[in-house]
Structure 1
Amino acid sequence: MTDPQLVLAMLADARLPTGGHAHSAGLEPAILAGLSGDGRRLHEIPALARTRLRTITATEAGAAVAARRLWLRGRRDLSPVETAWCARTPSAAMRDTARLLGRGYLRLARGLWPDAFAEFVHERPVRPLVLGVVGAVAGLDARQVALLVGYDDVQTIASAALKLVPLDPVHAMRWVLDLQPDITAMADGVASIAAPEDIPASGAPVLDEHAEAHARTTRRLFHA
């Protein structure tokens, strides 16, 4: 038996071999589109993270919670969750990124919990599907799964910022700390989701546009 709290800490480790280090959670596309990272306007970066938490990340966390709940009910076909998530994620670039990250998480999950994931029938799942099942298998509750999604989004932005803009690492850690109330509010808001149709559908069209433009550029440090 494993301690869910320790599993949660392990899954929140940015060093996981899931491919997350190749993504910036939308920060690089936003910078290329004009978001500033200079010393006078560094507040724009945590503002981006806060916007994502209320929109894109809430949708992903809600899908992960729904996937967890269906898996615990014995449902192994999670395609209704994936369909609902895709309907709420209009950017093809973001959907492609979620599948790349999902592949990385699925490889990790099959290595850590091979028996449980032998029943996982989705070959190209989006990330929230895999994280939801990981939560079910590892004993995480719905709120912990949502917290994991929210924290991962914020720490990905903070880590990417260290490579994209001149920045004292203390500033990045300060952002993560200051955004904790936003992360917990998002998690509390989606923890009770019981069905795919309950997944939030708050869009961020400007961020979608950034992602699509970024997918077409050849001069980039991160995949997305």
Structure 2
Amino acid sequence: MPQRSRSALLVLADGRFPAGGHAHSGGAEAAVRAGRLRDAADLAAFCRGRLHTAGLTAAGLAAAAALGHDPAGLDAAADARTPSPALRATSRRLGRQLLRAARATWPGPELDALARVFPRGTHQPVVLGATARAAGLAPEDAAHCAAYETVSGPATAAVRLLSLDPFQATAVLARLAPETDAVAARATAAAHQGVDALPAASSPLLDITAEQHAAWPVRLFAS
């Protein structure tokens, strides 16, 4: 990979990239309140489950977008794979924020066209893949970003929600690295086969708790 592409990948995957993800816990806040996420061991289990379900699905969509598949078809595919209305709204909100940041960082006609076609926003993994494409990155880079985001968000949130040692949270992510790589590779392979072959792994408990979380009058994270 050329050095500039490697640097672009680091920028896109950086948690400080202004895409709005810092305001979302990826379901961790609801899991903490329910007593299912209490320590680093629970965080590892939560992130592993999220990686192989929501992470795999998001990585496939991102890789497909980076390959240049039709955004409208990918938007419909993302809708079909996101049964929770709350999570669909969150995904589109994050997509809008990411697109704003991406157009300022890597301006180009494809991102401008995406903004015109979806004035109310498309799903975040679709925008992520289009952003990776605009940045000169490969589909597997987009898949890695998407997969990593699905576990890094809950890990960061757990530090705030549980006062968890950040060293422990980072260790969870490091130990999941081989599985994250495998998920990204599987998602990219599926994306090369077309939209109909994209993963549709489900996580019903995340869908249910997302709906509950959205109804809370007071919460630390938006989702």
Q: TM-score, normalised by structure 2?
A: 0.92
Candidates 66, 72, 94, aligned match of 1:101: 94
Aligned to 1:92: 85
For the structure 1 residues 140 and 115, does the alpha-carbon distance in structure 2 shift closer, same or farther, using more than 3 Å as the test? closer
Partner secondary structure for residue 55 of structure 1: helix
Residue 166 of structure 1 deviates from its aligned partner by 2.6
8 Å CA contact 2:54–2:150 kept in 1: the answer is: no
Residues 53 and 202 of structure 2 are in contact (CA less than 8 Å); yes or no, is this contact kept in structure 1? yes
The match for 1:81 is 74
Q: Is the 8 A contact 1:33 1:210 kept in 2?
A: no
Task: Return the match for 1:141 from 128, 131, 138.
Answer: 138
What letter matches 2:26 in structure 1? A
Structure 2 unaligned segments of length 5 or more: list them.
Answer: none
Give 1:122 deviation, angstroms: 2.1
SS in 1 for 2:212: helix
| CA distance in 1: counterparts of 2:34 and 2:208, whole angstroms | 9
Letter aligned with residue 122 of structure 1: F
Q: RMSD of the alignment, in Å? A: 1.5
Q: Which residue does 1:119 correspond to in 2?
A: 113
Describe the shift of the 1:5–1:196 C-alpha distance in structure 2 as closer, same or farther (beyond 3 A): same
Whole-angstrom distance in 2 between the partners of 1:119 and 1:94:
24
Q: Structure 2 CA distance, aligned partners of 1:182 and 1:18?
A: 25
In structure 1, what is the Cα distance between the partners aligned to 2:218 and 2:205?
20
Query: For the structure 1 residues 196 and 174, does the alpha-carbon distance in structure 2 shift closer, same or farther, using more than 3 Å as the test?
Result: same
**Any idea what the Cα deviations from partners look like across 1:113-147, whole Å, max 9, x if unmatched?**
22332222322111011111111111211111111
Task: Give 1:186's aligned residue.
Answer: 183
How many pairs does the alignment contain?
216
Equivalent position of 1:74 in the other structure: none
User: In the TM superposition, what is the alpha-carbon distance from 1:67 to its structure 2 partner?
Assistant: 1.4
What pairs with 1:16-35 in structure 2 (closer than 5 Å)?
16-35=17-36
| Conserved? CA contact 1:4–1:138, under 8 Å | yes
Other structure's SS at 2:113 match: coil
Cα distance, 1:2 vs. partner?
A: 7.2
Amino acid at match of 1:93: A
Question: Per-residue displacement from partner, 1:31-72 (whole Å, max 9, x unpaired)?
Answer: 12221314xxx311111111111111111111111112125x
Percent identical pairs in the alignment equals 39
Aligned partner of 2:64 among 63, 66, 77: 66
Q: 2:45 aligns with which of 32, 44, 47?
A: 47
Contact 1:61–1:146 (Cα < 8 Å) also in 2:
yes
- Structure 2: how far apart are the matches of 1:181 and 1:44? 19
Equivalences for residues 148-167 of structure 1 within 5 A: 148-167=145-164
* Displacement over 4 Å in runs of 4+: none
Conservation of the 8 A alpha-carbon contact between 2:58 and 2:146: yes
Specify every segment of 5 or more residues in structure 1 that has no aligned partner in the other structure, as ranges: 72-76
* TM-score normalised by length of structure 1: 0.91
Match of 2:126 in 1: 129
Alpha carbons 1:60, 1:128 under 8 Å: kept: yes
Task: Give the Cα separation in 2 of the matches to 1:144 and 1:13.
Answer: 13
- Report the Cα distance in structure 1 between the residues aligned to 2:218 and 2:51, rounded to whole angstroms: 27
Q: Which has the higher helix share?
A: 2
